[in-house]
């Protein structure tokens, strides 16, 4: 784990961006794609590893009709699809051509059409104040540097705009083994944690205090932090975390913030 920067002034890109783009295009998109149809098919949004229904979590604003939404790191864009069905006007942003190709194929299959932009969520080619809601489910929220993507989300939002994002928890990151599996031992220091290097990919998990400061510095007011508990019984375990672990400790969490006071 090293301090988070890695910005390349010659190209204007970040080391983690290039690495993660390659990881998604060359490795992860192929296995992620086949899972997407199930998500696209859902009539009610369901979030994260445990598919917790929207009716339990209330992550999304009630009044979605007509709202302009940007999904940062949309991947296969099923969250944007749910939002489009609820009457919102989503734009999906992702830096993986292969992920967006899957999203386009699913748009065609499900008869939904919304813009998909091939772009870095830390530098989105849209004017200031374009959107009412920015959302990220394990997209920019995990794969981008919070000190870059959160100010960018603030720039993209109109005053009073909402930000909702899901990521895995700092506690999970503290307890994760080198293979990325939750243990019951603290495996790394919390002070200095931020950028997590996992071989061919880089993720970011800021501890709560720093995350609050990053959000506040970008002009957001934090409205909620929801720590998600695995259901009992849970349908399955994951390589990263067992349902038993996630019954006792939160492995994933959702932040809700509003731009302005």
Ligand X SMILES: C[S@@+](CC[C@H](N)C(=O)[O-])C[C@H]1O[C@@H](n2cnc3c(N)ncnc32)[C@H](O)[C@@H]1O
- Binds ligand X (CB under 6 A): choice among 49, 144, 206, 257: 144
Minimum distance, C-beta of residue 48 to ligand X, in the bound complex (Å): 10
Minimum distance, C-beta of residue 202 to ligand X, in the bound complex (Å): 9
Q: Quick count: other Cβ atoms within 10 Å of Cβ 255?
A: 23
Instruction: Say whether residue 52 binds ligand X (CB under 6 A).
Output: no
Q: Tokens for 21, please give them.
A: 């783009």
With a CB cutoff of 8 Å and minimum separation 6, the contacts of 201 are 19, 20, 23, 28, 143
100 contacts 21 by C-beta, under 8 angstroms = no
Instruction: Say whether residue 4 binds ligand X (CB under 6 A).
Output: no
DSSP letters for 73-100: T-TT-HHHHHHHHTT-EEEEEES-HHHH
- Binds ligand X (CB under 6 A): choice among 79, 117, 193, 241: 79
Instruction: Say whether residue 141 binds ligand X (CB under 6 A).
Output: no
Cα–Cα distance between 181 and 249 in angstroms, integer?
14
Minimum distance, C-beta of residue 191 to ligand X, in the bound complex (Å): 26
Instruction: Say whether residue 17 binds ligand X (CB under 6 A).
Output: yes
Phi/psi of residue 122, nearest 5 degrees: -85, -10
Instruction: Say whether residue 20 binds ligand X (CB under 6 A).
Output: yes
**Which residues of the shown chain bind ligand X in the complex (CB under 6 A)?**
17, 20, 24, 73-76, 79, 93-96, 99, 120-122, 137-140, 143-144
């Amino acid at each position: 784990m090293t301090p988070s920067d890695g910005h390349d002034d010659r190209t204007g890109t970040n080391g983690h961006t290039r690495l993660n783009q390659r990881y998604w295009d060359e490795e992860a998109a192929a296995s992620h794609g086949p899972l997407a149809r199930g998500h696209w098919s859902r009539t009610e949004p369901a979030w994260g590893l445990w598919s917790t229904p929207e009716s339990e979590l209330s992550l999304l604003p009630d009044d979605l009709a007509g709202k302009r939404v940007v999904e940062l790191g949309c991947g296969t864009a099923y969250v944007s699809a749910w939002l489009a069905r609820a009457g919102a006007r989503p734009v999906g942003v992702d830096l993986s051509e292969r992920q967006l190709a899957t999203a386009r194929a699913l748009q065609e299959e499900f008869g939904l059409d919304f813009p998909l932009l091939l772009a870095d969520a830390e530098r989105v080619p849209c004017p200031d104040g374009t959107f009412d809601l920015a959302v990220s489910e394990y997209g920019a929220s995990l794969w981008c540097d919070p000190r870059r993507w959160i100010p960018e989300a603030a720039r993209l939002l109109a005053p009073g705009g909402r930000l909702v994002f899901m990521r895995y928890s700092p506690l999970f990151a503290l307890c994760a083994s080198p293979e990325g599996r939750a243990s019951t031992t603290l495996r790394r220091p919390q002070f200095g944690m931020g950028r997590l290097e996992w071989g061919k990919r880089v993720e970011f998990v800021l501890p709560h205090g720093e995350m609050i400061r990053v959000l506040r510095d970008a002009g957001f007011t934090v409205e909620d932090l929801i720590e998600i508990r695995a259901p009992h019984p849970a349908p399955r375990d994951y390589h990263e975390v067992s349902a038993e672990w996630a019954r006792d400790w939160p492995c994933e969490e959702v932040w809700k913030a509003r731009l302005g006071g």
